[in-house]
Amino acid sequence: MNAEKTRILVVDDELGMREGCRRTLEAEGYEVDTAEDGMAGLELFRRRGGYACALVDMKMPRMGGLEFVENVHAEAPDMVLLVITAYATIDTAVEATKRGAYGYIPKPFTPDEMLLPVRNGLERRALALEAAQLRKERENRLLELAYERSQCATILNCMTDAVFVVNREREVVLRNDAAAKILPDFASLPVPAPLSCLPEVLGGLLAEAMASGATPLIVSKDIELAGRNYMVNASPVAEHGGEPLGAVVVLRDISQLKKLEAAKSMFITMVAHEVKRPLAAIESFLDLICRGMVKDNPEKEREMIERSLARARNLRDLISDLMNITAMQTGKLNIRRIPLDPVGLLQEAVDACSDKAKGKNIELTLNCDQSAGAEKLLADRNGLFSVLTNLIDNAVKYTPSGGRVQVEARRNGASLSILVRDNGIGMSPEESARVFEEFYRANNERTEGIPGTGLGLTLARGIVDLHHGQIAVESAPGKGSVFTVSLPTMGKKQS
């Protein structure tokens, strides 16, 4: 408060009066300016401004008090104007208050007689200013509210979820744009619209949410509308624990999620089936043996035990393949791309399968074109290795004894082509078309008894995809198959 003193202007043509007022007021801590007539006072008021109060003599040369009050009041309505007057001109003083003066001080006066109205006036002024300030704040707040409201409406309409609000009279009083999109018929109705216009499921949920009373209940449900699935949440609208004023419903389109869910349960069904198959074979064989049903045929008994063992191993492979497939589907397969020499990796993959090939008396060869080793691949070592061994393993597996498996590599523009060629059992066009499907295994007299999970090529394709490559098959029954993998190379500069 002290930082800036309250300023008072004293306008009087009598020097003694002016200086007397100044002394008294300054002693009270006010800052005082003086002027010797109305004209000079007005001029000072206009030039310096910022006065809280003016004491004005009524009768002055050039411009009297009345005219001064009129002018100043028009320009600074909150300024406290006090008229100093002799008894003789009290009528004029009354006239002055009509024109905007706050009051008058009859002459002669003691210092206290002068200070009292000054203090009162200033106090009133302060109160008035405060009120004005409050009023202004309230107005700003209103503006803010209006702005907030339009902001809320904008946000509501930008939501992808549909929102409906229902009042206690069971009328829909609000719906956002998404709600209008989901229920186009309803969108054309004016708001408020009766609740009965909404599809029954929605109306029911809203009624349920509203009926929940003081303890707010959130009703959630999956519903179907016009061929799409929605997750619906309904909850009562109430002000802290009061009676519900209505209910709000939010609909979220979960059609995509539902599809994923269905695909996932299908996958799980397939997995359960694939796990039960080897188990069923093992259990059946062992049951027969335990019951002594094959004891007369020791050769058969031994074969059953061996087959059970093979199926048990197959089950273990299946489970590790499943883990890999799941890791791949959830994006958790650890792919760490590093520059790789394709020729070296191919040699390693061929070496890894050579024992199996020898065991079946299959000739396994690697033939890399000169161009193949020129550029490196940016690839995950383990991933690519498993793709290659899978293809070579299949070729050996699905080629009868004495056959031939050839692995080749060559540059093909900006990519490297790896071919795994066999002269084995081959596949029909229908079979080749399905080899990359999860769990698919060709089933015919030629594949009989060959163990496998039907996931090897699914995994291989997944890994090749992660490397932005391609995998394809060409095959003919009885003639053999060629699997081709194409992978982008790094280009000369980096290699």
Ligand X SMILES: Nc1ncnc2c1ncn2[C@@H]1O[C@H](COP(=O)(O)OP(=O)(O)OP(=O)(O)O)[C@@H](O)[C@H]1O
- Amino acid making up residue 453: T
Could you say whether residue 398 binds ligand X (CB under 6 A)? Answer: yes
CB of 427 to Mg ion, least distance (A): 13
Q: Does 467 sit near ligand X (CB under 6 A)?
A: no
Instruction: Choose among 447, 445, 419: nearest CA to 435.
Output: 447
Query: Out of 307, 337, 360, 411, which residue is the one contacting another protein (CB under 8 A)?
Result: 307
CA angle 250, 251, 255 (to 5 degrees): 155
Which residues are registered as beta bridge partners of 482?
421, 474
- And the tokens for 323? 């883990």
Contact mark string toward ligand X, 166..185, x via CB under 6 A? --------------------
Find the binder of ligand X among 249, 304, 425, 463 (CB under 6 A): 425
Whether residue 475 contacts residue 425, with contact meaning beta carbons closer than 8 Å, is answered with: no
Rule CB under 6 A: is residue 438 a binding residue for ligand X? no
Residue 481 interface partner, choices Mg ion, another protein, ligand X, none, CB cut-off 5-8 Å depending on type: ligand X
Show the tokens assigned to 251: 């609909």
- Kindly tell me the sign of the dihedral angle through the C-alpha atoms of 21, 23, 27, 33: positive
121's contact among ligand X, another protein, Mg ion, none, with CB below 5 to 8 A by partner kind, is none
User: Under the criterion CB under 6 A, does residue 317 sit at the interface with ligand X?
Assistant: yes
Instruction: Return the residue of 4, 185, 241, 291 that touches another protein, per CB under 8 A.
Output: 291
Q: How many CB atoms lie within 10 A of CB 486?
A: 20
Single-letter code of the amino acid located at 52: A
**Residue that is written with structure tokens 């090939």 in the block:** 357
Q: Which is nearer to another protein, 258 or 277 (CB)?
A: 277
**Class of residue 446 by CB neighbours under 10 A (exposed 0-12, middle 13-18, buried 19+):** middle
- Segment interacting with another protein (CB under 8 A) among 105-113, 125-133, 299-307, 327-335: 299-307
Helices of type H across 87-110: 90-98
Interaction between residue 277 and another protein (CB under 8 A)? yes
Report, in Å, the least distance between residue 383 CB and ligand X: 15
Q: Does 423 bind Mg ion (CB under 5 A)?
A: no
Q: Is residue 441 close enough to count as binding ligand X by CB under 6 A?
A: yes
Between CA 175 and CA 155 the distance in angstroms is 12
- Residue span binding another protein (CB under 8 A) among the ranges 173-181, 252-260, 265-273, 361-369: 265-273
394 interacts with Mg ion by CB under 5 A: yes
**97 vs 447, which CB is nearer to ligand X?**
447
DSSP states along 290-310? HTTTTTT-HHHHHHHHHHHHH
- The DSSP-derived string for 122-133 is HHHHHHHHHHHH
Which helix (H) or strand (E) is 247 found in, with range?
strand 246-253
Site residues for Mg ion, window 450-489 (CB under 5 A)? 456
> In whole angstroms, how close is the CB of 425 to ligand X at the nearest point?
5
How far is 379 from 387, CA to CA, in rounded Å? 12
How far apart (Å, rounded) are the C-alpha atoms in residues 105 and 120? 13
Exactly one of 64, 403, 456, 469 binds ligand X (CB under 6 A); which one? Answer: 456
User: Angle at the Cα of 432 (from 427 to 435), degrees rounded to 5?
Assistant: 115
Distance, CA of 474 to CA of 456 (rounded, Å): 17
**Residues of span 474-493 touching ligand X by CB under 6 A:** 481
- Smaller CB distance to another protein: residue 429 or 449? 449
CA separation for the pair 94, 411 (Å, rounded): 110
Q: Is 287 in the site for another protein (CB under 8 A)?
A: yes
Tell whether residue 273 is a contact of another protein (CB under 8 A): yes
Q: How far is the CB of 480 from another protein (least distance, A)?
A: 22
Indicate whether 295 belongs to the interface with another protein (CB under 8 A).
Answer: no
State which residue, 64 or 426, has the beta carbon closest to ligand X: 426
Part in contact with another protein (CB under 8 A); list of ranges 118-126, 201-209, 272-280, 461-469: 272-280
- Name the binder of 435 from another protein, ligand X, Mg ion, none, CB < 5-8 A by kind: ligand X
d(CA 40, CA 18): 13
Cβ burial of 184 (10 Å; 0-12, 13-18, 19+) is exposed
The count of chain residues that interact with another protein, using the rule CB under 8 A, is 29
**Interface residues for another protein in 408-447 (CB under 8 A)?**
443-445
Least distance (Å) from ligand X to the CB of residue 405? 9
Count other C-beta atoms under 10 Å from residue 63's C-beta. Answer: 18
Enclosing H/E stretch for 474: strand 470-476
Given 140, 160, 256, 269, the residue binding another protein (CB under 8 A): 269
**Residue type at position 78:** D
Please give the residue ranges that form the binding site for another protein (CB under 8 A): 265-269, 272-273, 276-277, 279-281, 283-285, 287-288, 291, 293-294, 300, 304, 307, 311, 443-445, 448-449
Please give the residue ranges that form the binding site for Mg ion (CB under 5 A): 394, 456
Please give the residue ranges that form the binding site for ligand X (CB under 6 A): 317, 321, 390, 394-395, 398, 422, 424-427, 435, 440-442, 447, 452-458, 481
